[in-house]
Structure 1
Amino acid sequence: MNDLLNYQLELSALSPRDIIKRAVADHADIAVSFSGAEDVVLVDMISKLSAKPRVFTLDTGRLHPETYRYLEQVRNHYKIDIEVFTPDHVALQALVQEKGLFSFFTDGHQECCGIRKIEPLTRALLPLNAWITGQRKDQSPNTRSTVPVVQPDTLFSGQNAILMKYNPLANWSSADVWNYIKMFELPFNPLHLQGFKSIGCEPCTQATLPNQHEREGRWWWEEATQKECGLHAEKAQ
């Protein structure tokens, strides 16, 4: 535990770029999780540190058309491969057959996210010993305010006994992210220009009003404390 705390303190003093540099140096099998929104900052940083960065994304089958086109734009802009993980078709077909395409509006989104996101992520992480996410503390005061720059993943497994999760942007604000995007003229999802601050699946994402928090557009029919899909949950102790 002391080693982890020291490692967290050491990395907390570094810039996001240097956190990624350290993570890449410390782990042979590491990948960036790219959601097709502002995670392009992570892709940009790791592309400048590695000739063949490993990047993966989850295609839920319900993303906005703009997001699919944006994924291809990023792939071509950086000339990188993006591994795409899709839901297990048997589990997905059973859910849709039994409950239809919009059961999450009445049952809550966890079951649908479990099939469309959690299971594909489980497969994506198995060959890794670390992954890099775009989590920030300011993304959700209800669920992400204590996100550290590095942590052991208590929910998912990799090829080692402990799967490490790096959150290089944990201490950045949304303004920091967009300053970086503008400064280096990075491609970004055009939905951001239409009022979408946080972008997920099309049925579960709305544009936000001025002064609304970015996560208020996600699963807008549910309580603020429920606005997570489970990708960044922690196992109960």
Structure 2
Amino acid sequence: MASSTQKLVSLLIQETAGLPIDQTLALLAGRFPGAVTFSSSFSFEDQVISHQILENQLPISIFTLDTGRLFPETYSVWSKTNAAYHTRIKAYYPNHESLEEFVQATGPNSFYESTQNRKDCCHIRKVEPLRRALAGNSIWVTGLRAEHSPGRGDLPQFEWDEGNQLIKFHPLLHWSTDEVMAFIKQNNIPYNSLHDKGFISIGCAPCTRAIQPGEDFRAGRWWWEDSSKKECGLHVTEKPGVANSLAKID
């Protein structure tokens, strides 16, 4: 990370310390006009952030990645969110040629057969569309929370994303699950009904299941794989000497 970028990240951390989320988002929208975007998967966390943006009419774009394998409940909350806030959240889709070639070569459910197939599927359906969605932006707002993974405990609220060449902002990083749920209920925000059925981290339907009592937050994602291999490549942190080190997962 260049010294100028490092200074900017440090400055943003200082300037927004103690500010509520809506004020921080407004500050970013003013500082980087037309270049702040939020990626939503319609999770509890993402619905809280969408509410902050849309209720306050902040000039921040919102997009989602439609992999083509989402749950019906996810499409339902997407529609309800559009209706509740009179908006149209933009969707980015996989490159059809890449997807057609992959499915033709490996089959529709090949992600169960090998970790590499699953990673290739994630790359086509999520990583490449994400890069297109983020292109031209300066700030990427995410719904990451430290409580979701031990690897996120040391994350700063602002960080430089080397792979996508922009600054990431995690407004709910230190919120607890109880705080997120309370905000949802208090503001009558549409949410994914799968959360009421034991689904915590919700992704593609074939790759997500409900978790059992006592299981880790991420146990329901790619449950057939070793826990050390559970990543899709959306949240990447470059570390010295390690290219594309996947320190966070989504």
| TM-score normalised by L of structure 1 | 0.91
The partner residue of 2:215 within 206, 212, 221 is 212
Q: Percent identity?
A: 37
Tell me the alpha carbon deviations over residues 93-121 of structure 1, each in whole angstroms, 9 at most, x when there is no partner. 11101111122222212111100000000
Q: Does 1:167 align with 2:170?
A: yes
The partner residue of 2:119 within 88, 110, 119 is 110
**CA RMSD of the aligned region, Å?**
1.7
1:149: how far off? 1.0
Q: Contact between 2:95 and 2:129, CA under 8 Å: does it hold in 1?
A: yes
- 3-state DSSP class of the match of 2:213? coil
Q: 2:82 — aligned with what?
A: 75
| Aligned CA distance change for structure 1 residues 226 and 20 (closer, same or farther; 3 Å) | farther
Q: 2:224 — aligned with what?
A: 221
- 3-state DSSP class of the match of 2:156? coil
Q: What is the count of residue pairs matched by the alignment? A: 231
1:176: how far off? 1.3
Q: Does 1:62 align with 2:65?
A: no
Q: Does 1:98 align with 2:101?
A: no
Q: 1:184 — aligned with what?
A: 187
Q: Contact between 1:149 and 1:170, CA under 8 Å: does it hold in 2?
A: yes
Q: 2:162 — aligned with what?
A: 154
Q: Contact between 1:198 and 1:214, CA under 8 Å: does it hold in 2?
A: yes
> Unpaired runs of 5+ in structure 2?
1-5, 241-250
Partner AA of 2:157 in structure 1 = V
Partner AA of 1:176 in structure 2 = E
> Unpaired runs of 5+ in structure 1?
158-162
Structure 1 Cα separation of the partners of residues 96 and 199 of structure 2: 29
1:3: how far off? 4.5
Give the 4+ runs in structure 1 shifted more than 3 A.
none
- 3-state DSSP class of the match of 2:172? coil
Q: Contact between 1:152 and 1:165, CA under 8 Å: does it hold in 2?
A: yes
| Aligned CA distance change for structure 1 residues 57 and 151 (closer, same or farther; 3 Å) | same
Partner AA of 2:27 in structure 1 = R
1:2: how far off? 4.4
Superposed, 1:83-94 pairs within 5 Å as: 83-94=90-101
- 3-state DSSP class of the match of 2:183? helix
Structure 1 Cα separation of the partners of residues 71 and 112 of structure 2: 18
Q: 1:160 — aligned with what?
A: none
- 3-state DSSP class of the match of 1:235? coil
Tell me the alpha carbon deviations over residues 101-154 of structure 1, each in whole angstroms, 9 at most, x when there is no partner. 12222221211110000000011011322121101111111x322222111211
Tell me the alpha carbon deviations over residues 200-237 of structure 1, each in whole angstroms, 9 at most, x when there is no partner. 00011010112222211111122333332111112343
Q: 2:18 — aligned with what?
A: 13
Moved more, 93-102 or 1-10: 1-10
Partner AA of 2:131 in structure 1 = T
Tell me the alpha carbon deviations over residues 159-188 of structure 1, each in whole angstroms, 9 at most, x when there is no partner. xxxx12111111112221111101111110
Q: Contact between 1:11 and 1:149, CA under 8 Å: does it hold in 2?
A: no
- 3-state DSSP class of the match of 1:35? coil
